Amino acid sequence: MTEAPSGHGHSAPGACSVLWDQAHAPAPGTAAQARFWVALEQPGPWGREAATQSHLDPDVGAGLDRLCAEHGGRLLLIRRPGTHADRRGSEGQRVYVAGGLTDRPWLLEADLDLPSQLGRLPWPALAAGDIDIVLDAVPELEEASDPVLLVCTNSRRDVCCALRGRPVALAAAQARPGRVWECSHTGGHRFAPTGVLLPWGQTLARLDEDLAVEVLDAAERGELPAAALGPWHDRGRSVLEPPAQAVEAALREQLGELDLIALSTSAEPDPEDSTAWRCTVSHRDGRCWSVRVERLMGDHLPESCGKAPVATWSWRVGPASLV
């Protein structure tokens, strides 16, 4: 397993992410599943359930969160790294909408006067990745010029995200202004600092300032940096099921494949083993592999700070056979 790099953030010795680091727990196959992402700027404090426990109108937040979930997507709140005063500028609230994650990812952005304008999103078309219908329904949106990296800093969900995520987000934002945002809970605070790279929905673990900047620079080419490959950092693409995430991450590392959309992966349960899946990975150059993956139980570790240890699990990816 990959050795743990040093210096990717600070936290108390007993914090959940520190314990998972010490256990060298692998990250692949742990990305939150989402067919699309909606990221809405909301300055100020966030509660545990940020969509309804912030200065965003709770009815608007609850409605957007429900509509995203019903159509297979995820809503995040975002804010600019640094101080969290709830100041509202004349430019409105920034929103990013990422879709087409299966094979042709796209990212839209706007500065909205009212967050409720997002209620006009055509949710089935968004889930299907139809950018034209989305733009027709919400004409305030336009194609974003650059990818963005969202770093989880939602301390009310887990303190690791604030203590480890905020310094990374701030330093990376200073290096690449306007392209890094703090965000609410993405899942996986045990891998803090965690991030989501839009538009691809690529989810990352154990970020540090240098890696965050490398990720953004590589994303300009539609790639991941080589340093992000492997079980220490690559949690997987959100559009995939967990076993497919794990298999794709393993094969990406094996091939040294940096292109974010070069691989497509599907998973089917193994009819002979309830803990295993059969995955098919296709490369856009025509190659195709069959891979078996098993879910294994592991050590007992706390999944959140202050929680009792529970049995953990990881994925064991078998050899890839060309088909």
What are the boundaries of each domain within the chain?
A: 13-240
Instruction: Please provide the DSSP assignment of 144-205 as one string.
Output: -SS-EEEEE--TTT-HHIIIIIHHHHHHHHHHSTTSEEEES--S-GGG-S-EEEETTTEEE-
Per-residue confidence at 15, pLDDT binned at 50, 70, 90? confident
pTM, two decimal places: 0.92
| Whole-number pLDDT of residue 9 | 46
As a whole-number percent, the residues of the chain with pLDDT over 90 amount to 74
| Whole-number pLDDT of residue 266 | 97
* Whether 171 contacts 210, CB under 8 Å: no
Q: Decide if pLDDT at 127 tops 50.
A: yes
Per-residue confidence at 1, pLDDT binned at 50, 70, 90? very low
Rounded to a whole number of angstroms, the distance between the first and last alpha carbons of the chain is 27
256: left (phi over 0), alpha (psi -120 to 50) or beta: left
- Residue, of 146 and 15, whose pLDDT is higher: 146
CATH class, domain 13-240, is alpha beta
Question: For 50-84, how does the pLDDT look when each residue is reduced to its tens digit (9 = 90+)?
Answer: 889 899 999 999 999 999 999 999 999 999 998 75
Which tokens in the block code for residue 175?
A: 């290096």
| Residue range 261-268: mean pLDDT, rounded | 97
Q: Decide if pLDDT at 4 tops 80.
A: no
Q: Which of 33-37, 68-72, 205-209, 308-312 has the lowest mean pLDDT?
A: 308-312
| Whole-number pLDDT of residue 3 | 38
- Residue, of 87 and 138, whose pLDDT is higher: 138
Q: Which residue has the tokens 């990305």?
A: 31
Q: Decide if pLDDT at 216 tops 50.
A: yes
